[in-house]
Amino acid sequence: NAGVTQTPKFQVLKTGQSMTLQCAQDMNHEYMSWYRQDPGMGLRLIHYSVGAGITDQGEVPNGYNVSRSTTEDFPLRLLSAAPSQTSVYFCASSREGANTGELFFGEGSRLTVL
């Protein structure tokens, strides 16, 4: 059972480039979310989804887009990367929601924007 899989693990971008961070889970979880982790800031919620076709904003959504066309996948898109988006990004899923049960995390995607 793979759990939550994130790709790529490492990425370097130039300012203004676009890219997509992929997240897939094989646990049939309805809830999926993206966090960024920065030194001194902890983990902050970017976007989340409570099911296929449904997405909503978290604490720091600006500069990021998401979509949820299937239960399994929840990609995070950076349309025009900025140095402030240098961070470690984590995808997490839960059977029902962040309030009801255990969150399962991927191993992270480390992004550097030059």
> Parallel, antiparallel, or unpaired for β 19-25 and 42-51?
unpaired
Q: How far is the CB of 102 from another protein (least distance, A)?
A: 4
Residue closer to another protein by CB (options 13, 60) is 60
Spatial separation of the C-alpha atoms in residues 68 and 72, rounded to whole Å: 8
Contact 43/90 with Cβ under 8 angstroms?
Answer: yes
Q: Closest distance between another protein and the C-beta of residue 43, in Å? A: 4
Written as one letter, the residue type at 60 is V
The residue among 58 and 75 lying less far from another protein, judged by its C-beta, is 58
The contact set with another protein (CB under 8 A) reads: 4, 40-45, 58-59, 90, 92, 98-99, 101-108
